[in-house]
């Protein structure tokens, strides 16, 4: 996003299991919904007239489920046509600038993801039953939300290179229609199959008191021989039993990355390539242990590397670094030092940096588009656009995040717990905004939740005005809860993006924060800002907002399920 305009051989081990009992509510309906006309159904979508013209079902018995299935099916067709269109443009890349080619390559990747997500969604909604478990319903809503995010990311990238190629409208026009169709599909799904947000949960404790990572150790059970080999190679004991009763993590295999050649690999990327594809939860994590060192490489965890865990030697010990940036011709989307799109990814004890500096504008350290991903005791260091929480469901615990303009941005459903946020010195004339959340549709289950964190100035900040966030997109949603805010936070709290854009449609909220910067008496008077109570705040906790009870226990990472 531009500074003040648009954003654009291994060791086999056997481990005991770790899980948390939860009760998942299943949505039930007393009867099949009555038939409805397209006019009636479409009034509940953001684009009623487009909806009526797009899904003309001439069937007097059609109901919301029929319209929803039709819309998703049509969305698959549109997404495939767009993917073919992008391939066509890229086949004529000799007439395009490098910037345009890179933007189109981003669109090509995102279009493929959209086809996959829509196909998965249709396989679910095409079933005869009209009820879904709350987890399955959240899964589909998450995928449909991500499809809109992917489309918007493509639009942003094309617009950022608009001056460099004349035929851009040949891409932007179909994208605009696709965006409306995907929005209608999301809206119809939410109305027919959507989760009722006041679902009840079992009386499980909100805090997981024992972590598999107690005292920085990961308890792994393996043969004495393999244990001795691993401890020798790793030069530190990751294998100490958890003395406080903490559960253990299931790990299938382990490889070591070490720059001195004593491990299995000398680069992280080689270890990732070696990892198995599409592992199942019951198989356990494929663990990559990365010893201390500075790894100058661009790491990409592709979408087929399920259940991958990377553990380093600690913040500022295991460091992954790069310097790609927008000024040097990269898209924001592909400027990241570390990219992850594989579901159920876990990272512990690593630092990820982008060293391009403030002068290079957008320069991402981590881009995360991995569903049910977890980062624990990690550090993300950059300036503008440090941490790109791009899409899907994400959890961050006890992480350090450094940056300047919009340094936590994107459109995931992301929860940050017990993290340290460090605004640092930007370029002359710039102000800092900690967040720039990118929700574009009221039906998306996305937003940024910052809970029990600390906001303090980095050593070089000086007197730079610093704000909690600004609305990158129309339905931007960010909540701060029980967070310490030092005096660096401007009294207004929040900053406009451009004029009155999105000031009435955002959802910016604060709950029970502390520190000199938490005084809400001088906060902005936008309709989109409010001070909320515990009843509202609980909707943005790990258990509610990202379904944390369903995936965090197996990671071994501590978390608070509630307030």
Positions marked catalytic: 406
DSSP letter string, 7-52:
----EE-----------PPBP--SSPPPP--HHHHHTTSS-HHHHH
For the record, the structure tokens of 226 come out as 């393999």
Contact 172, 155 (CB under 8 A): yes
Which string of b and e fits 69-98 if b means at least 16 CB within 10 Å? bbbbebbbebbbebbebbeebeeeeeebee
For the record, the structure tokens of 456 come out as 């303090």
The residue whose two tokens read 């909100």 is: 206
Degrees, nearest 5: CA angle 153-157-508? 45
Separation in Å, CA 423 to CA 212, 356, 404, 467, 563: 31, 16, 6, 10, 25
What angle, 0 to 180 degrees and rounded to 10, lies between the N-to-C axes of helices 64-91 and 98-125?
A: 150
DSSP letter string, 270-291:
HHHHHSPSS--GGG-EEEEEE-
Helix (H, G, I), strand (E, B), or coil: what is residue 182?
Answer: helix
DSSP letter string, 350-378:
-EEEE-S-GGG-B--SEEE--TTEEEES-
* The length of the chain, given as a count of residues: 563
Q: Which long-range contacts (CB under 8 A, 24 or more apart) does 543-548 make?
A: 543/201, 543/206, 544/197, 545/413, 545/415, 545/447, 545/449, 546/372, 546/393, 546/394, 546/395, 546/413, 546/414, 546/415, 547/135, 547/138, 547/393, 548/395, 548/415
Spatial strand order in the sheet of 454-455? 293-295, 318-322, 351-354, 379-381, 400-403, 420-423, 454-455, 484-485
């Amino acid at each position: 996003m531009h500074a003040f305009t648009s954003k654009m051989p291994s060791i086999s081990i056997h481990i005991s299991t770790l899980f948390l009992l939860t009760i998942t509510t299943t949505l039930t309906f007393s009867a099949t919904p009555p038939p409805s006309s397209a006019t009636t159904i479409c009034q509940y979508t953001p684009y009623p007239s487009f909806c009526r013209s797009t899904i003309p079902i001439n069937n007097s018995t059609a109901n919301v489920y029929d319209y929803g299935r039709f819309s998703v099916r049509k969305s698959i067709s549109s997404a495939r046509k767009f993917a073919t269109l992008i391939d066509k443009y890229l086949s004529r890349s000799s007439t395009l600038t490098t910037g345009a080619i890179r933007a189109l390559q981003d669109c090509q990747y995102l279009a493929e993801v959209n086809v996959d997500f829509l196909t998965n969604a249709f396989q679910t909604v095409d079933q005869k039953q009209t009820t879904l478990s709350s987890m399955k319903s959240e899964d589909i809503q998450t995928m449909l939300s991500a499809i809109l995010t992917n489309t918007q990311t493509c639009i942003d990238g094309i617009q950022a290179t608009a001056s460099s190629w004349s035929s851009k409208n040949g891409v932007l026009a179909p994208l605009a229609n696709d965006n409306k169709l995907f929005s209608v599909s999301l809206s119809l799904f939410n109305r027919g199959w959507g989760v009722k947000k006041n679902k009840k949960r079992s009386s499980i404790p909100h805090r997981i008191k024992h972590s598999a990572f107690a005292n920085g150790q990961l308890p792994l059970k393996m043969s004495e021989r393999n244990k001795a080999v691993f401890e020798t190679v790793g030069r530190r004991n990751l294998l100490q039993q958890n003395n406080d009763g903490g559960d253990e993590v299931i790990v299938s295999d382990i490889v070591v990355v070490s720059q001195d050649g004593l491990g299995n690999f000398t680069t992280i990327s080689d270890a990732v390539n070696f990892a198995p594809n599409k592992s199942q939860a019951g198989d356990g994590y494929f663990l990559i242990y990365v010893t201390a060192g500075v790894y100058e490489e661009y790491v990409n965890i592709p979408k087929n590397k399920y259940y991958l865990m990377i553990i380093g030697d600690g913040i500022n010990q295991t460091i992954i670094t790069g310097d790609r940036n927008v000024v040097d011709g990269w898209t924001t989307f592909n400027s990241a030092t570390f990219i992850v799109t594989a579901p159920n990814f876990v990272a512990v004890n690593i630092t990820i940096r982008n060293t391009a500096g403030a002068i290079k504008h957008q320069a991402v350290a981590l881009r995360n588009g991995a569903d049910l991903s977890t980062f624990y005791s990690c550090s993300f260091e950059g300036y503008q656009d440090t941490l790109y929480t791009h899409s899907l469901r994400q959890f961050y615990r006890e992480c350090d995040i450094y940056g300047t303009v919009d340094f936590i941005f994107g459109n995931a459903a992301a929860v940050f717990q017990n993290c340290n946020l460090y605004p640092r010195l930007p370029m002359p004339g710039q102000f800092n905004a900690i967040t720039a959340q990118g929700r574009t549709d009221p039906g998306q289950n996305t937003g940024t939740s910052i809970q029990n964190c600390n906001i303090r100035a980095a050593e070089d900040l000086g007197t730079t005005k610093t704000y909690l966030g600004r609305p990158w997109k129309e339905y931007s949603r960010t909540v701060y809860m029980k967070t310490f805010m030092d005096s660096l936070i401007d009294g207004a709290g929040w900053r406009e993006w451009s004029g009155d854009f999105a000031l009435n449609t955002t959802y910016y909220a604060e709950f029970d924060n502390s520190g000199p910067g938490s005084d809400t008496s001088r906060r902005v008077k936008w309709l989109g800002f409010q001070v909320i109570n515990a009843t509202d705040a609980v909707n943005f906790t790990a258990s509610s907002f990202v379904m944390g009870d369903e995936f965090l226990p197996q990671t071994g990472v501590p978390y608070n399920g509630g307030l």
